[in-house]
Amino acid sequence: MVNIFLDESGSFVNAANSGSWNSIAAYMSPECDRRHLQGILENLKRSVGVVPKAEIKLKHLNEEQYLQFLKQLSHLNGVVFVVATDAGLNQPPDVAEHQRIQAEKIVEYKEKMHYQAAREGLQALSDQVAALAPQLYIQLHCQVNLIAAVIRNGVLYFVQRHPRSLGHFRWRIDQKNSTRSDYEKAFASITPAILQSISLQEPMPMLIGADYSAFSRFDYSADEYPTYLRDTYGIEIREDAPVTNIGLIMRENHKFVDSTQNYGVQIADLLASGVRRCLRQEFGDNESVARLLGTLMAQNYGGRPPIQFLGFSRQKNFVGDQVTRLSRIMGKYSRAMLSR
């Protein structure tokens, strides 16, 4: 089994100044690391005087303690994926336009669908997207892109190192309150649908000769092959590679949890918060933090930085020079994607 723990840092509300970074982190870890992770977190709490059942935050640590925490994590098998966005550049009109377009795309081919129930389902999905508050829409968009990276790059990374762990995915995501929020409902219904469409049009890379036997349980069979994009919408999809059932990966073992009760979500929170503070250049030694964060990241493809930077305006160069420099340091020290 592989565990994926998600948490965010920041409110994603529009800010007055650029450089107001928010981040979401997903820490992907094989089950064999569970006791080691729990031990690292317990020892960290003990060292700073946080009681075992309380949640530990970045504010509880000084810089040296945080660097030591990152060093300890770097000896384990888990990797972190991160998406970041600058709240100071996400202007309300740009976000509203992006949200409107995405909601319209969901129902673009609605009238071509054969069944009324399917048309109504698409409309309900579109309405959910359109109704989200701007900051929640930004968070959802970032989270969808983050999970796409976990599935696309994380599977490729772990199939070379812990292939048996890919037979089961356990998702644990920080919940914001004790009741299931509108955001959580939207996330549960929207994310698999969007990711499935992405995977059909852009199948994940598969490494020839790697052991995908455990992961193959998520492949559609020939009888189940989802041809609806072509049959219903007229969108051609590749049929020369296995198609992954993203819905099964996402829904089989997926929960929003109280972070105070989950060691992995607390670790994801410390990583998301560390990335955010580093991008905001609020550490005393941001380069050292960037190097150690990089050791926990997997090399991205095409020379891209290991962090995804997302913006909602048409401005192309929205990542400043200092943030670019720090992201390149993370990339330099990131783990090689190919193990051989």
What per-residue confidence (pLDDT) applies to 235?
47
Measure the CA dihedral 249/236/140/121, to 10°: -80
What per-residue confidence (pLDDT) applies to 340?
67
Judge if pTM exceeds 0.85: yes
User: Rounded to the nearest 5°, which phi and psi values hold at 244?
Assistant: -90, 135
Strand partners, 3: 29, 170
What per-residue confidence (pLDDT) applies to 38?
96
Using alpha carbons, list the distances in angstroms from residue 14 to 4, 179, 250: 28, 26, 30
Q: pLDDT for 38-47, tens place per residue?
A: 999 999 999 9
Tokens linked to 286:
């941001």
* Distance (Å, whole) CA 219 – CA 200: 12
Q: Which of 5-9, 13-17, 37-41 has the lowest mean pLDDT?
A: 13-17
What per-residue confidence (pLDDT) applies to 241?
54
Q: Does 324 have pLDDT greater than 70?
A: yes
Q: What's the average model confidence in pLDDT over 217-240? A: 60
Q: Does 251 have pLDDT greater than 90?
A: no
Q: Does 230 have pLDDT greater than 70?
A: no
Q: Does 48 have pLDDT greater than 50?
A: yes
When pLDDT is cut at 50, 70 and 90, the band that residue 213 belongs to is very high
When pLDDT is cut at 50, 70 and 90, the band that residue 233 belongs to is very low
The Cα angle at residue 208 between residues 206 and 209, in degrees rounded to 5:
125
Of residues 222 and 187, the one with the higher pLDDT is: 187
The percent of residues above 70 in pLDDT, for the chain, comes to: 87
Q: Does 332 have pLDDT greater than 80?
A: yes
Task: Report the run of H or E that residue 65 belongs to, with start and end.
Answer: helix 63-74
Q: What's the average model confidence in pLDDT over 165-194? A: 80
Q: pLDDT for 269-286, tens place per residue?
A: 999 999 999 999 999 999
> What does pLDDT average to over the chain?
87
* Distance (Å, whole) CA 9 – CA 275: 9
Tokens linked to 69:
């925490």
Domains belonging to the chain, first-starting first, are: 2-333 (3.30.420.10)
Place of tokens 């999905």: 125
